[in-house]
């Protein structure tokens, strides 16, 4: 049977390239009239990211013969140009890679590290209170960036195309400029005061007279293009030893920062084994420490496995109550036990064990909320901002990448290193600046996540791959601070418990509970009757901003499916 030609369609502002199906029977296999939402479909691969231009670049890399890792590297650099509030080369993150040839699933941990001069009291005022400015908008707020080293390691170990070919698309974007869209206008306007406080940042994102770029106008990133060219030619040495490193260190020395050339030279990503769990016939593979997200997802699913959620129904009060109570207990444990396992004895095996989940489930009242003051970390023996970003890739050969990386706040610290076009992260706020003090996202922390030289701050990032019958079924992840964990979790539940396709699973309203503060956040769109029942059960329900922004790919049979979360403008799923 001859296949029909490719078609190019614009759907809700997203450019979607997919292979049309030639028979009514094939269409029924993908599009069901029982479903209100439908994923994008591809025949040879799928890329989903938070920005459609970056997704298109990923697909072009696949078309040129690159694999999922090649596409991921190109997307990672492209997002530094097209999504500057979150995409980055001055931050860090985690990449999970499934290798079809060997069957391995590995993790590249390129999370930022604390500089050698960091110490536990560095963010305290003389009276012992926490100095938020030093944690959020100062050179001291930056951890040693890991993105460039992490993407390089991924390419060297698993890539197939030349490194330069993967950086070049981002260089072209920065050189030629990008057109200002609604997301740029909104985020730059929202952060205007902070961004204008630093000269190099002001020059990068505003016109010479200090005015805003308008919708549809072009903005060129000359310094960023120069930095990307150096990285393309010299690899990570440009960033960690060469011209870029020298500029970072000079800026640190001139403005009270502590990152040194030795800090940069000594940075290296770490290969880690994922944490693994099972849930109703699926295998869940996710992030280990220094991320809390993977452990929390497995722990929560282990608790929920004790209840017939399918019988209760999707987003019913009974189902949401049980999910919230499981979240509450997981975040309590997060506060005490989770940190960088290279510096703290994290009890991973216990936290993700079925036995421990059984113990936690016994304390859940199925009809009443448990006040958080009565929920303590279990007895047995902090955060990403909304401006984290995630992308997922599947290729024809069966390779899968789930990558989450971040600057922390929107535009990170807001500080652009002069002459580089590179925004510095403010990831040091992910540490516990003081035991018992909340960070910017309300998360409590203790000694497990205290500041130490070379240590990585606790993260919520949880790129996750789900396997069915030993084969990758889906890959997903999200931004959203502590909410990224719960957003990712609910996409998984919607697929595994309720049989939703990934578009429906993505679009369903979400909830979030993080133990402290003792509030159940719900998105708009949740039934008022359901909210009233949850309140009668004792939950302090608050209608909140959107929760997370998952970017999900799935493979079933010979087709690839992609769902870009509509909660963020400009996201794109692109198959081919």
Which burial class, exposed, middle or buried, applies to 281 when counting CB atoms under 10 A from its CB (0-12, 13-18, 19+)? exposed
> Please, where are the H alpha helices in 215-292?
222-234, 237-240, 243-254, 261-266
CB 369 within 8 A of CB 321: yes
Would the annotation count 111 as a binding residue? yes
Rounded to whole angstroms, how far apart are CA atoms 479 and 447? 25
> Which residues are tagged catalytic?
388
Would the annotation count 385 as a binding residue? no
CA distances to 283, 339, 352, 522 from 95, in Å: 18, 19, 21, 29
CA distances to 339, 377, 449, 479 from 289, in Å: 6, 17, 11, 17
Maximum distance among all alpha carbons in the chain? 77
Would the annotation count 105 as a binding residue? no
H or E element in which residue 404 lies:
strand 400-406
List the structure tokens of 278: 């099972």
Cis upstream peptide for 85 (omega within 30°)? no
Select from 96, 100, 69 the least CA-distant residue to 402: 96
User: Exposure pattern of 423-435 as b/e (b: 16+ CB <10 Å)?
Assistant: bbbbbbbbbbbbe
CA distances to 208, 536, 551 from 421, in Å: 16, 52, 27
Would the annotation count 460 as a binding residue? yes
Would the annotation count 406 as a binding residue? yes
H or E element in which residue 389 lies:
strand 389-394
Rounded to whole angstroms, how far apart are CA atoms 337 and 432? 13
Would the annotation count 481 as a binding residue? yes
CA distances to 67, 70, 467, 549 from 63, in Å: 9, 11, 26, 27
Indicate the pairing of strand 520-523 with strand 541-544. Answer: parallel
Would the annotation count 408 as a binding residue? yes
Select from 574, 473, 502, 395 the least CA-distant residue to 19: 574
Rounded to whole angstroms, how far apart are CA atoms 377 and 363? 13
Would the annotation count 530 as a binding residue? no
SS (H, E, C) 200-224: HHHHHHCCCCCCCCCCCCEECCHHH
SS (H, E, C) 56-92: HHHHHHHHCCCCHHHHHHHHHHHHHHHCCCCCCCCCE
End-to-end CA, the chain: 19
H or E element in which residue 42 lies:
strand 40-42
- Beta carbons within 10 angstroms of residue 405's beta carbon: 32
**Binding site, annotated residues:** 111, 406-408, 430, 459-460, 481
**Binding site, annotated residues for L-glutamate:** 111, 406-408, 430, 459-460, 481
């Amino acid at each position: 049977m001859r296949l029909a030609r490719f078609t190019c369609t614009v759907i809700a502002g997203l450019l979607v390239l997919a292979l049309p199906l030639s028979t009514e029977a094939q269409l029924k296999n993908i599009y069901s009239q029982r479903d209100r939402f439908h994923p994008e479909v591809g025949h040879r691969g799928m890329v989903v990211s938070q920005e459609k231009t970056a997704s298109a670049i990923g697909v072009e890399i696949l078309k040129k013969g690159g694999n999922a890792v090649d596409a991921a590297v190109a997307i990672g650099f492209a997002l530094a140009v097209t999504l500057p509030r979150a995409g980055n080369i001055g931050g860090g993150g985690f990449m999970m890679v499934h290798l079809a040839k060997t069957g391995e699933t590995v993790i590249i941990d390129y999370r930022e590290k604390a500089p050698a001069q960091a110490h536990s009291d560095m963010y305290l005022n003389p009276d012992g209170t926490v100095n938020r400015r030093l944690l959020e908008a100062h050179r001291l707020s930056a951890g040693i960036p890991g993105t460039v080293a992490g993407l390089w390691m991924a390419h060297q170990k698993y890539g197939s195309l030349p490194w330069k070919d993967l950086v070049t698309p981002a260089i072209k974007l920065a050189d030629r400029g990008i057109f200002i869209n609604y997301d740029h206008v909104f985020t730059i306007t929202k952060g205007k005061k902070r961004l204008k406080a630093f000269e190099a940042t002001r020059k990068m994102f505003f016109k010479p007279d200090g005015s805003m770029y308008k919708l549809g106008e072009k903005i060129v990133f000359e310094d960023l293009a120069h930095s990307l060219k150096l990285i393309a030619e010299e690899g990570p040495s440009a960033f960690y030893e060469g011209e870029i490193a020298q500029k970072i260190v000079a800026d640190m020395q001139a403005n009270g920062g502590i990152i040194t050339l030795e800090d940069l030279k000594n940075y290296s990503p770490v290969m880690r084994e994922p944490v693994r769990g099972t849930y109703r016939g699926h295998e869940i593979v996710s992030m280990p420490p220094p991320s809390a997200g993977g452990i929390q997802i497995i722990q929560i699913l282990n608790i929920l496995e004790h209840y017939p959620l399918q019988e209760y129904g999707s987003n019913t009060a009974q189902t949401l109550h049980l999910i919230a109570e499981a979240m509450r207990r997981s975040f309590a444990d997060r506060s005490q036990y989770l940190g960088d396992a290279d510096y703290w004895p994290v009890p991973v095996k216990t936290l993700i064990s079925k036995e421990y989940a059984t113990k936690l489930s016994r304390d859940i009242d199925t009809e009443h909320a448990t006040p958080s003051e009565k929920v303590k970390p279990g007895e047995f023996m902090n955060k990403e901002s909304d401006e984290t970003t995630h992308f997922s890739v599947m290729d024809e050969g069966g390779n899968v990448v789930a990558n989450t990386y971040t600057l922390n706040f929107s535009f990170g610290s807001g500080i652009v290193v002069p002459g580089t076009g590179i925004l510095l992260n403010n990831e040091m706020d992910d540490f516990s600046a003081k035991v018992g003090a909340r960070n910017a996202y309300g998360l409590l922390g203790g000694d497990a996540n205290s500041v130490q030289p070379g240590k990585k701050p606790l993260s919520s990032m949880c790129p996750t791959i789900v396997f069915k019958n030993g084969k990758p079924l889906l890959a997903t992840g999200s931004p959203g601070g502590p909410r990224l964990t719960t957003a990712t979790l609910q996409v998984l539940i919607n697929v595994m418990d309720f049989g939703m396709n990934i578009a429906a699973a993505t679009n369903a309203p979400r909830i979030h509970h993080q133990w402290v503060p003792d509030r159940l956040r719900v998105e708009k769109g949740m039934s008022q009757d359901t909210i009233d029942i949850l309140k009668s059960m004792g939950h302090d329900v608050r209608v909140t901003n959107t929760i997370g922004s998952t970017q999900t790919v799935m493979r079933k049979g010979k087709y690839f499916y992609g769902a870009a979360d509509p909660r963020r403008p400009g996201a794109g799923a692109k198959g081919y």
